[in-house]
Amino acid sequence: MEHTYVATCLFGLEKFLGEEIDALGYRRLSTMDGRVLFAGPPEAAARASLWLRSAERLFLLLGRFPADSFDALFEGTRRLCWEEWIGRADAFPVTGHAVRSRLYSVPDCQSIVKKAIVERLKGKYGLGWFPETGTVYPVEFFILNDDAMLLIDLSGVALHKRGYRPAANQAPLRETLAACLVRIARPREEVLFWDPMCGSGTIPIEAAMLMANIAPGSRRSFLAETFPQFPRDLWRLAREEAAAAVKKDSAFEAYASDIDPASVEIARENCTRAGVTRWVKAFPRNALEIKTGGRRGTIVCNPPYGERLFTMEETERLYRAMGRHFATLDSWQIYVLTSHEDFERLYGRRADKVRRLYNGMIKCGYYQFFRKKPEGPEPRRESPGSGRGQVSGSMRRNPRAGAKKA
């Protein structure tokens, strides 16, 4: 038996999510902003939950139909086989979203969907009232351009919550975004990976998990584990597969450093919970004092933006200092995520490539420096706020922008 699944992600990360689904051997059906549909057997629920690094949630697709009116939404929902999933005593709370559709009132759509499911189950179970005290099957509707998807949430707690980060610093980076920053930076075993502004350690931890092939969901549970439609053996086998896949002999090495000793202590604790202490070393150090030690290296960092941490003046001083100091790190590759539109001018160097991403609700650029800095002055470059509407060549080569975080 094959199911249709929907994996959601932060806008701009669909490419990475699709590649992860391909790697698991499942058949991609379609991709849209913030979600990828794919087909797979029941065990795909467990394997995808454990292995998808870029996904925010995993859903089971119950049905899809046109819904340009409340009547169409009601009838389309009522036709679906809810009784195959929801038992006589089970709970089925309804949430959802409507985007660019005639049915724009989410509360009204919630009420219609709930009523339609009740009517369907009344006819199947001969009940006039449902206690909803049993297994919880969260129902979600997603209506886009008058096309409705009716889904059951398989994740429960969002998938970016791996279970290793109960504590975080003041401006934490979501684990799914960190995993994609790491993938873009192409970590290698023979190259030191360093986040010199590590905060709670998310970027180095995700790098170590990727390089050691640790399934990101291996240390947490999922709502679908309570569903009888997905037997316990299915989850047991998936977890055994994940445990056997870990590369315990990986020679990868990452540094997690920060000027704040309290952040370093949080990072150390998170590394322990994530099971990556053999690959990640956490220690206090000023980012403007790090040295290569004669090694090849890659820096990936998420410095303050001047929005939640630091004032804008302090942030701009930091970016100037970063540019001066990082230029001394031989031919190290540098990757910086920031929302500051004038970052390259402050840093003193044009990025070789820029990718647009969103950190929460904040539009950012992921500035990538992987060629040796050229001799002589940088060519003049208009800032995005100059009024001429110019962007870098790398942005023109990569015009796709993300959208707001789910």
Per-residue pLDDT, averaged over 197-205, amounts to 96
Nearest to 82 by CA among 114, 111, 109, 110: 114
In this structure, what are the phi and psi dihedrals at residue 184, rounded to the nearest 5 degrees?
Answer: -65, -35
pLDDT band at 384 (very low <50, low <70, confident <90, very high): very low
Which percentage of the chain shows pLDDT scores above 90? Answer: 84
How far is 42 from 228, CA to CA, in rounded Å? 11
- Tokens describing residue 214: 């640790």
Looking at CATH, the fold of the domain delimited by 175-217+250-397 is given as: Rossmann fold (3.40.50)
The ranges assigned to domains in the chain are 3-153, 175-217+250-397
In CATH terms, the fold of domain 3-153 is VC0802-like (3.30.2130)
Phi, psi of 43 (to 5 degrees): -65, -15
- Please name the residues in contact with 153: beta carbons below 8 A apart, sequence gap of 6 or more: 57, 58, 59, 137, 138, 139, 140, 223
Backbone phi, psi, residue 354, to 5°? -130, 130
Of 289, 322, 280, 290, nearest in space to 193 by CA: 280
**Tokens coding 286:** 């000023």
Give me the pLDDT at residue 311, please: 84
Tens-place pLDDT, residues 57-111 = 999 999 999 999 999 999 999 999 999 999 999 999 999 999 999 999 999 999 9
Q: What is the pLDDT of residues 287-301, one digit of tens each?
A: 999 999 999 999 999
Q: What is the pLDDT of residue 404?
A: 33
Mean pLDDT (whole number) for 129-139: 97
In the chain, count H helices and then E strands: 11, 14
CA distance 49 to 37: 14
pLDDT of residue 360: 77
- Judge contact between 200 and 263, C-beta under 8 A: yes
| Lowest pLDDT segment from 87-96, 258-267, 389-398 | 389-398
CA proximity to 196, closest of 114, 291, 118, 121: 291
Residue 186 or residue 398, greater confidence: 186
pLDDT tens readout for residues 214-240: 999 999 999 999 999 999 999 999 999
Q: Does 261 score more than 70 pLDDT?
A: yes
Q: Name the region of 51 (left: φ>0; alpha: ψ -120 to 50; beta: rest).
A: alpha
Residue pair 162/219 in contact (Cβ under 8 Å)? The answer is yes
Q: What is the CB neighbour count within 10 angstroms for residue 283?
A: 13
How far apart are the C-alpha atoms of 85 and 341, rounded to whole Å?
A: 49
For 151-171, what is each residue's pLDDT tens digit?
A: 999 999 999 999 999 865 565
List of long-range contacts for 360-364, beta carbons under 8 Å, 24+ apart: 360/174, 360/405, 361/404, 361/405, 362/305, 362/307, 363/339, 363/401, 363/402, 364/305, 364/337, 364/338, 364/339
pLDDT of 307 reads: 63
Give the pLDDT confidence score for residue 403 in this predicted structure. 34
Query: How far is residue 248 from each of residues 162, 214, 252, 275, measured CA to CA in Å?
Result: 19, 9, 10, 11
Q: Which of 119-133, 166-180, 309-323 has the lowest average pLDDT?
A: 166-180
Separation of alpha carbons 335 and 132, rounded Å: 49
Q: How confident is the model at residue 359 (pLDDT cuts 50, 70, 90)?
A: confident
Nearest to 262 by CA among 247, 232, 284, 242: 284
Say what the pLDDT of residue 375 is: 62
- Which H or E run contains 203? helix 202-211
Pick the more confident residue, 402 or 312. 312
